[in-house]
């Protein structure tokens, strides 16, 4: 895919940050042990869009992220990701023997950034995620929320056009999670990258996303897309947000009930 495309009027539109899955299916195993994890997934995510993906157990959410990241190859169909991909997981995956700053510096070092510049840049990024006073602390000295903020700073250091987040807030308490919503939204709006955010928390999806994608199970497939034009910043307890979350939850309950996956999500 080229970095830019021409419109009918001749204007050039940047494609950096666009993620497309076209007719994507994924089969694991062989013979009688084959498992069809994804089937016929078509998804076009625009540059700078924030998309949340929700669904029951076994619906292929994490498989889809692995395909988008290039960690797995589709059995059929194509995946195109323009501008580089960064990953953020439920666990911070920080190196325990490095300080917060050194963990961020590692991402800069892999990009070939010089020593002095990466030291300065790492501290700037940690300040951006509100950890300016904790640059020299190691992961075991930080709370769970702080470790995820270091992981977010490391993502920013990669300067990728697409950020894939696989339940990055799932292990956090409600208050810390709410603070992370604000932080993720702030850095996303400032940096302008594309986000695909996997979560089991329906209200979280509606709180953050421009569009929520509901996945069906066995095989995993897209069964509903819910656009969201509510003004930002959004409150988890706002009436309109709660109504949208309730509609998505109803659809999700109908789907997971078919597969006996009830209660594997929250609202």
pLDDT at 6 over 50: no
Structure token pair of residue 15: 């494609």
pLDDT exceeds 50 at position 11: no
What is the distance in angstroms between the CA of the first residue and the CA of the last residue of the chain?
38
Residue 21 has pLDDT above 70, yes or no: yes
pLDDT tens digits along 33-68: 888 999 999 999 999 999 999 988 788 899 999 999
Cβ–Cβ under 8 Å, residues 245 and 267: yes
**10 Å Cβ neighbour count for 74?**
19
Peptide bond into 109 cis (omega under 30): no
pLDDT of residue 139: 96
pLDDT band at residue 14 using 50, 70 and 90 as cut-offs? low
CA distance 104 to 123: 9
Q: What is the largest CA-CA distance in the chain?
A: 57
For tokens 């329906």, name the residue. 202
- Higher per-residue pLDDT: 90 or 76: 76
Q: In DSSP terms, which residues pair with 28 in a beta bridge? A: 35
pLDDT value of position 260: 61
pLDDT of residue 59: 86
pLDDT of residue 56: 84
Instruction: Write down the mean pLDDT value for the chain.
Output: 89
Distance CA 257, CA 221 (A): 16
How many other CB atoms sit within 10 Å of the CB of residue 194?
25
Spatial contact of 239 and 206, defined as CB atoms under 8 Å apart: no
| pLDDT tens-digit readout, 141-188 | 999 999 999 999 999 999 999 999 999 998 888 899 999 999 999 999
Q: Is the pLDDT of residue 259 over 80?
A: no
Q: In what order do the strands lie in the sheet with 76-81?
A: 35-45, 19-28, 76-81
With 0-12 CB in 10 A as exposed, 13-18 as middle and 19+ as buried, what is 11?
A: exposed
């Amino acid at each position: 895919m080229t970095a830019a495309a021409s419109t009918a009027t001749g204007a050039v539109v940047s494609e950096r940050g666009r993620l497309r899955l076209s007719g994507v299916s994924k089969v694991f195993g062989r013979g009688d042990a084959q498992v069809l994890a994804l089937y016929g997934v078509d998804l076009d995510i625009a540059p700078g869009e924030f998309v949340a993906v929700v669904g029951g157990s076994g619906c292929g959410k994490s498989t889809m992220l692995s395909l988008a990241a290039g960690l797995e190859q589709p059995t059929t169909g194509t995946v195109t990701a323009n501008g580089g991909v960064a990953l953020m997981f439920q666990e911070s995956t920080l190196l325990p023997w490095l300080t917060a700053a050194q963990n961020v510096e590692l991402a800069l070092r892999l990009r070939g950034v010089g020593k002095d510049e990466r030291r300065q840049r790492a501290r700037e990024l940690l300040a951006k995620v509100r950890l300016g006073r904790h640059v020299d602390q190691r992961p075991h000295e930080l709370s769970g929320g702080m470790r995820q903020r270091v992981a977010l700073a490391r993502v920013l250091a990669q300067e990728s056009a697409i950020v894939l987040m696989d339940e990055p807030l799932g292990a956090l308490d409600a208050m810390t999670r709410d603070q992370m919503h604000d932080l993720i939204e702030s850095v996303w709006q400032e940096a302008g990258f594309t986000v695909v955010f996997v979560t089991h928390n329906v209200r979280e999806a509606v709180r953050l996303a421009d569009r929520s994608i509901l996945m069906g199970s066995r095989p995993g497939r897209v069964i509903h897309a819910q656009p969201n034009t509510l003004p930002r910043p959004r409150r988890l307890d706002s009436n309109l947000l709660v109504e949208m979350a309730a509609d998505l939850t109803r659809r999700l309950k109908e789907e997971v009930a078919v597969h006996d996956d009830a209660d594997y999500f929250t609202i």
